[in-house]
Structure 1
Protein backbone atom coordinates (compact mmCIF):
# COMPACT_ATOMS: atom_id res chain seq x y z
CA UNK A 1 0.00 0.00 0.00
CA UNK A 2 1.11 3.55 -0.70
CA UNK A 3 0.09 6.88 0.77
CA UNK A 4 -1.17 9.73 -1.37
CA UNK A 5 -1.92 13.37 -0.80
CA UNK A 6 -5.03 14.77 -2.45
CA UNK A 7 -5.18 18.54 -2.12
CA UNK A 8 -6.48 21.78 -3.55
CA UNK A 9 -5.39 25.39 -3.48
CA UNK A 10 -7.97 27.78 -2.08
CA UNK A 11 -7.95 29.80 -5.31
CA UNK A 12 -9.21 26.76 -7.27
CA UNK A 13 -12.53 26.88 -5.40
CA UNK A 14 -13.86 29.91 -7.24
CA UNK A 15 -16.61 32.33 -6.31
CA UNK A 16 -20.00 30.77 -5.64
CA UNK A 17 -23.10 31.75 -3.70
CA UNK A 18 -23.45 30.46 -0.14
CA UNK A 19 -26.23 28.08 -1.21
CA UNK A 20 -23.88 26.42 -3.70
CA UNK A 21 -21.33 25.76 -0.94
CA UNK A 22 -24.04 24.41 1.37
CA UNK A 23 -25.11 21.99 -1.38
CA UNK A 24 -21.54 20.62 -1.68
CA UNK A 25 -21.12 19.76 2.02
CA UNK A 26 -23.32 16.64 2.03
CA UNK A 27 -21.72 15.42 -1.20
CA UNK A 28 -18.21 15.83 0.20
CA UNK A 29 -19.15 14.19 3.50
CA UNK A 30 -20.62 11.23 1.61
CA UNK A 31 -17.26 10.68 -0.12
CA UNK A 32 -15.39 10.99 3.20
CA UNK A 33 -17.77 8.47 4.78
CA UNK A 34 -17.24 6.08 1.86
CA UNK A 35 -13.45 6.46 2.11
CA UNK A 36 -13.62 5.66 5.83
CA UNK A 37 -15.84 2.64 5.16
CA UNK A 38 -13.41 1.39 2.49
CA UNK A 39 -10.51 1.78 4.94
CA UNK A 40 -8.49 4.13 2.70
CA UNK A 41 -8.85 7.34 4.71
CA UNK A 42 -5.87 8.39 6.83
CA UNK A 43 -6.84 12.04 7.31
CA UNK A 44 -8.88 14.78 5.67
CA UNK A 45 -9.56 18.40 6.47
CA UNK A 46 -9.92 21.92 5.20
CA UNK A 47 -7.72 24.77 6.34
CA UNK A 48 -8.76 28.13 7.77
CA UNK A 49 -9.04 30.53 4.84
CA UNK A 50 -7.52 33.52 6.63
CA UNK A 51 -3.91 33.07 5.52
CA UNK A 52 -2.76 35.87 7.83
CA UNK A 53 -3.39 33.52 10.78
CA UNK A 54 -0.58 31.25 9.52
CA UNK A 55 2.84 31.08 11.17
CA UNK A 56 6.18 30.01 9.71
CA UNK A 57 9.09 28.14 11.25
CA UNK A 58 12.50 28.52 9.57
CA UNK A 59 15.76 27.01 10.78
CA UNK A 60 17.80 27.48 7.57
CA UNK A 61 20.03 30.09 9.22
CA UNK A 62 21.04 27.61 11.92
CA UNK A 63 18.74 29.29 14.42
CA UNK A 64 15.01 28.67 14.67
CA UNK A 65 12.91 31.67 13.72
CA UNK A 66 9.14 31.55 14.10
CA UNK A 67 7.20 34.40 12.52
CA UNK A 68 3.58 35.31 12.00
CA UNK A 69 2.18 34.90 8.52
CA UNK A 70 2.89 32.58 5.62
CA UNK A 71 6.49 31.72 4.79
CA UNK A 72 6.30 33.01 1.22
CA UNK A 73 4.20 35.65 -0.49
CA UNK A 74 2.27 33.70 -3.08
CA UNK A 75 -0.79 33.94 -5.28
CA UNK A 76 -2.07 30.51 -4.21
CA UNK A 77 -2.20 28.70 -0.90
CA UNK A 78 -3.35 25.31 0.33
CA UNK A 79 -7.06 25.11 1.05
CA UNK A 80 -7.56 21.52 2.15
CA UNK A 81 -6.23 18.00 1.91
CA UNK A 82 -6.84 14.31 2.26
CA UNK A 83 -4.28 11.61 2.92
CA UNK A 84 -5.23 8.16 1.74
CA UNK A 85 -3.58 4.75 1.74
CA UNK A 86 -4.36 2.73 -1.38
CA UNK A 87 -2.64 0.04 -3.48
CA UNK A 88 -1.82 2.07 -6.62
CA UNK A 89 -1.94 5.30 -8.64
CA UNK A 90 -5.18 4.30 -10.37
CA UNK A 91 -7.01 3.95 -7.07
CA UNK A 92 -5.59 7.24 -5.79
CA UNK A 93 -6.77 8.99 -8.96
CA UNK A 94 -10.21 7.44 -8.53
CA UNK A 95 -10.55 8.96 -5.04
CA UNK A 96 -9.17 12.32 -6.20
CA UNK A 97 -11.86 12.31 -8.88
CA UNK A 98 -14.58 11.46 -6.39
CA UNK A 99 -13.47 14.35 -4.15
CA UNK A 100 -13.29 16.75 -7.12
CA UNK A 101 -16.83 15.83 -8.21
CA UNK A 102 -18.20 16.20 -4.68
CA UNK A 103 -16.46 19.48 -3.90
CA UNK A 104 -16.94 21.04 -7.31
CA UNK A 105 -13.34 22.19 -7.79
CA UNK A 106 -10.06 20.60 -8.97
CA UNK A 107 -7.91 18.34 -6.83
CA UNK A 108 -4.27 17.33 -7.25
CA UNK A 109 -3.07 13.87 -6.22
CA UNK A 110 0.55 13.00 -5.41
CA UNK A 111 2.20 9.93 -3.99
CA UNK A 112 4.32 10.26 -0.85
CA UNK A 113 7.92 9.09 -1.12
CA UNK A 114 8.73 5.80 0.58
CA UNK A 115 10.53 6.07 3.88
CA UNK A 116 14.14 4.81 3.89
CA UNK A 117 13.18 2.04 6.32
CA UNK A 118 10.41 0.89 3.95
CA UNK A 119 7.65 1.66 6.46
CA UNK A 120 4.74 3.91 5.64
CA UNK A 121 4.07 7.13 7.53
CA UNK A 122 0.80 5.74 8.81
CA UNK A 123 0.79 4.86 12.48
CA UNK A 124 -2.64 3.54 13.35
Structure 2
Protein backbone atom coordinates (compact mmCIF):
# COMPACT_ATOMS: atom_id res chain seq x y z
CA UNK A 1 0.00 0.00 0.00
CA UNK A 2 1.09 3.58 -0.62
CA UNK A 3 0.06 6.88 0.89
CA UNK A 4 -1.44 9.55 -1.35
CA UNK A 5 -2.19 13.18 -0.65
CA UNK A 6 -5.49 14.51 -2.01
CA UNK A 7 -5.65 18.28 -1.63
CA UNK A 8 -7.04 21.53 -2.92
CA UNK A 9 -6.03 25.15 -3.04
CA UNK A 10 -8.56 27.44 -1.40
CA UNK A 11 -9.01 29.39 -4.64
CA UNK A 12 -10.33 26.26 -6.41
CA UNK A 13 -13.43 26.36 -4.20
CA UNK A 14 -14.92 29.33 -6.02
CA UNK A 15 -17.51 31.85 -4.89
CA UNK A 16 -20.68 30.31 -3.46
CA UNK A 17 -23.36 31.36 -1.02
CA UNK A 18 -23.74 29.83 2.43
CA UNK A 19 -26.58 27.54 1.31
CA UNK A 20 -24.33 25.99 -1.33
CA UNK A 21 -21.63 25.22 1.25
CA UNK A 22 -24.20 23.79 3.65
CA UNK A 23 -25.35 21.51 0.84
CA UNK A 24 -21.79 20.12 0.50
CA UNK A 25 -21.47 19.05 4.15
CA UNK A 26 -23.32 15.73 3.97
CA UNK A 27 -21.85 14.59 0.63
CA UNK A 28 -18.35 15.37 1.94
CA UNK A 29 -18.96 13.54 5.21
CA UNK A 30 -20.35 10.57 3.28
CA UNK A 31 -17.09 10.25 1.33
CA UNK A 32 -15.05 10.38 4.56
CA UNK A 33 -17.29 7.70 6.12
CA UNK A 34 -16.85 5.57 3.00
CA UNK A 35 -13.06 5.91 3.24
CA UNK A 36 -13.20 4.96 6.92
CA UNK A 37 -15.42 1.96 6.21
CA UNK A 38 -13.02 0.74 3.52
CA UNK A 39 -10.01 1.26 5.79
CA UNK A 40 -8.14 3.66 3.47
CA UNK A 41 -8.48 6.94 5.39
CA UNK A 42 -5.38 8.15 7.18
CA UNK A 43 -6.45 11.77 7.69
CA UNK A 44 -8.85 14.36 6.30
CA UNK A 45 -9.37 17.98 7.25
CA UNK A 46 -9.66 21.56 6.13
CA UNK A 47 -7.39 24.42 7.10
CA UNK A 48 -8.37 27.81 8.49
CA UNK A 49 -8.71 30.36 5.70
CA UNK A 50 -7.20 33.28 7.62
CA UNK A 51 -3.59 33.47 6.45
CA UNK A 52 -2.72 35.73 9.39
CA UNK A 53 -3.13 32.65 11.57
CA UNK A 54 -0.35 30.86 9.63
CA UNK A 55 3.28 30.79 10.73
CA UNK A 56 6.46 29.86 8.87
CA UNK A 57 9.61 28.19 10.12
CA UNK A 58 12.84 28.52 8.11
CA UNK A 59 16.25 27.11 9.07
CA UNK A 60 17.94 27.38 5.66
CA UNK A 61 20.29 30.14 6.90
CA UNK A 62 21.57 27.90 9.69
CA UNK A 63 19.45 29.76 12.23
CA UNK A 64 15.82 28.92 12.91
CA UNK A 65 13.52 31.84 12.16
CA UNK A 66 9.83 31.55 12.91
CA UNK A 67 7.60 34.31 11.54
CA UNK A 68 3.92 35.06 11.39
CA UNK A 69 2.13 34.49 8.11
CA UNK A 70 2.71 32.28 5.10
CA UNK A 71 6.27 31.52 3.98
CA UNK A 72 5.87 33.21 0.60
CA UNK A 73 3.39 35.68 -0.75
CA UNK A 74 1.14 33.71 -3.03
CA UNK A 75 -2.17 34.03 -4.81
CA UNK A 76 -2.99 30.40 -3.92
CA UNK A 77 -2.78 28.53 -0.66
CA UNK A 78 -3.66 25.09 0.62
CA UNK A 79 -7.26 24.82 1.76
CA UNK A 80 -7.54 21.23 2.94
CA UNK A 81 -6.13 17.76 2.58
CA UNK A 82 -6.88 14.07 2.79
CA UNK A 83 -4.34 11.27 3.10
CA UNK A 84 -5.32 7.79 1.94
CA UNK A 85 -3.50 4.47 2.12
CA UNK A 86 -4.36 2.60 -1.09
CA UNK A 87 -2.67 0.00 -3.31
CA UNK A 88 -2.16 2.01 -6.49
CA UNK A 89 -2.54 5.21 -8.51
CA UNK A 90 -5.88 4.11 -9.91
CA UNK A 91 -7.37 3.73 -6.41
CA UNK A 92 -5.95 7.09 -5.33
CA UNK A 93 -7.42 8.79 -8.38
CA UNK A 94 -10.78 7.20 -7.73
CA UNK A 95 -10.78 8.55 -4.17
CA UNK A 96 -9.68 11.99 -5.37
CA UNK A 97 -12.68 11.93 -7.69
CA UNK A 98 -15.00 10.94 -4.87
CA UNK A 99 -13.64 13.76 -2.69
CA UNK A 100 -14.09 16.23 -5.58
CA UNK A 101 -17.69 15.06 -6.01
CA UNK A 102 -18.37 15.33 -2.28
CA UNK A 103 -16.82 18.77 -1.85
CA UNK A 104 -17.93 20.21 -5.15
CA UNK A 105 -14.52 21.58 -6.18
CA UNK A 106 -11.36 20.19 -7.84
CA UNK A 107 -8.81 18.07 -6.01
CA UNK A 108 -5.23 17.13 -6.86
CA UNK A 109 -3.71 13.78 -5.91
CA UNK A 110 -0.03 12.90 -5.45
CA UNK A 111 1.78 9.89 -4.05
CA UNK A 112 4.21 10.36 -1.18
CA UNK A 113 7.78 9.36 -1.99
CA UNK A 114 8.63 5.88 -0.74
CA UNK A 115 9.89 6.09 2.83
CA UNK A 116 8.93 9.75 3.25
CA UNK A 117 6.04 9.05 5.58
CA UNK A 118 7.74 7.97 8.78
CA UNK A 119 4.78 7.78 11.12
CA UNK A 120 1.04 7.84 10.78
CA UNK A 121 -1.04 9.23 13.61
CA UNK A 122 -4.73 8.52 13.37
CA UNK A 123 -7.05 11.10 14.92
CA UNK A 124 -10.48 10.41 16.31
For normalisation by structure 1, the TM-score amounts to 0.94
Q: Show CA shifts across 1:51-93 (max 9, x none).
A: 1110000000000000000000000000000000000000000
Partner in structure 2 of residue 48 of structure 1: 48
For normalisation by structure 2, the TM-score amounts to 0.94
Partner in structure 1 of residue 74 of structure 2: 74
Distance across 2 between alignment mates of 1:19 and 1:57: 37
Q: Stretches of 4+ moved more than 6 A in 1?
A: none
Tell me: CA distance 1:26–1:95, structure 2 relative to 1, closer, same or farther (3 Å). Answer: same
Distance across 2 between alignment mates of 1:120 and 1:87: 18
Structure 2 unaligned runs (5+)?
A: none
Tell me: CA distance 1:114–1:121, structure 2 relative to 1, closer, same or farther (3 Å). Answer: farther
Aligned 1:2-41 pairs, distance under 5 A: 2-41=2-41
What's the CA shift for 1:21?
Answer: 0.2
Say if 1:5 and 1:82, in contact at 8 Å, map to a contact too: yes
Q: 2:86 matched to 1:91?
A: no
Tell me: CA distance 1:93–1:50, structure 2 relative to 1, closer, same or farther (3 Å). Answer: same
Say if 1:3 and 1:120, in contact at 8 Å, map to a contact too: no
Local SS of the residue matching 1:66? strand
Distance across 1 between alignment mates of 2:23 and 2:15: 14
Say if 1:114 and 1:120, in contact at 8 Å, map to a contact too: no
Q: CA RMSD in A?
A: 1.4
Structure 1 unaligned runs (5+)?
A: none
